[in-house]
Amino acid sequence: MVIAVICGGGNGAHVCAGITSSQPGVEARVLTLFADEAERWANATKDHDFTVTLHAANKDPVKLVSKPSMVTKDPAEAMRGNVDIIVFTVPAFAHKNYLEQLKPYVKPGMILAGCPGQAGFEFAVRGIWGELALKVSVMSFESLPWACRVLEFGRAAEVLGTKATLVGAVTECTPKPSSDPTATLQKVLGDAPKLVVKGHLLGITLMGTNGYLHPSIMYGTWHKWDGKPLKEVPVFYNGLDEFSAKLLSDISDEVVATAKAIMKQRPQVDLNNVSHILQWYHRCYADDIEDKGSLYTCIKTNRAYKGLPHPMTKRDDGSYVPNFGYRYLTEDIPFGLVVMRGIATIAGVPTPNIDTIINWAQKLLGKEYLVDGELKGKDLPESRCPQRYGLASLDTILGLA
């Protein structure tokens, strides 16, 4: 029996709990530390099953009816017994709290998997767990396995699209773990997506695509906004324009250039798990994209994104204005672009497009990360860039020193 502790209470945690609890030979437990989520979820499933509906192109929907063995806000309860794997499905800004709360109950040989880990995940684990991090197998994946959403809190969720493959990396604990981390996580998630684990963890930090996908679309849509309310909520991904697609591609070029520069300076390090975001779309959404011709058409015609809206705030008169306090900026800047900028700085790679978005976003957020073109702003400690943890050289960010 594999015991998995799923951390979170949002869309990803709901779907992961439903899928994991339906796998033979797996016990799913949910740990959610946010407000009263654990109590609400536990009460919702007390006398009801939990249903996850899986949608896939050209197939009838599949319903999984199951539920986790427990939903709790107590780390000691969630971690009792022989827990095999902890799966993070929470936003990056919440990782610190979970890592701190779980630390007293983590045992050598366990597996910690970030699904996604998002940029700087390994820096946070090392910074908070210290020497304990060396005794745990740390896995990080480039994104959530699914495009998904909660339909009814604690009772129902749906998967709009499942990635064909999910690329990640692992640093195995010392001594070697008794069970293979990749095989264990695959058992927890089921047959899909196919987990592809290769290369260095830093490559997955650089492939935290949401960290530049969301801000690029936000910038492209709103950087020239005239301040006038809109009558309707615009579509986010499928409403992409060509300017945003070009900006996103240029930022991806900067990320790829960073990986190449690091491998040139440290040939023993494998960062071939870093690819351009166009190749990422071809791989992750192979069955969901109608037109794979360009990055612009890939996003515009991705069925898994159908109907997903821009984050907006509705006004009293029924009109809408953009919500710049949404995670597409509040999370994806300090736990995305700022991290990548920090790594690029160490690697000696210029990032004019990344800088453009950081400078725009930090004004909207009332934050300060970049000052005069350098990462020395007062809010840098709130980010996960390597400099925030005192990692200022290639060897330290790669774990070689």
Is-contact 362 134, C-beta < 8 A?
no
Strand segments, DSSP code E, in 116-186 are: 137-141, 146-152, 156-162, 165-171
- Let me know if 105 is exposed, middle or buried by CB neighbors in 10 A (0-12, 13-18, 19+): middle
Marked catalytic residue, from 14, 95, 214, 310: 214
Structure tokens at 387: 């400099």
Where are the strands (E) in 61-171, listed by range? 62-66, 70-72, 85-88, 111-114, 137-141, 146-152, 156-162, 165-171
CA 57 from centroid of its chain's CA atoms: 24
In the residue annotation, 214 being an active-site residue is answered as yes
Element (H, E) at 295: helix 295-300
Here the tokens at position 200 are 């260095």
Rounded Cα gap, residues 94 and 51, in angstroms: 26
Report helix, strand or coil for 293: coil
Coil, strand or helix at 118:
coil
Return d(Cα 250, Cα 379) in angstroms, integer: 26
Please give the backbone phi and psi of residue 98, each rounded to the nearest 5 degrees, phi first.
-65, -45
Q: Which residues are catalytic?
A: 214
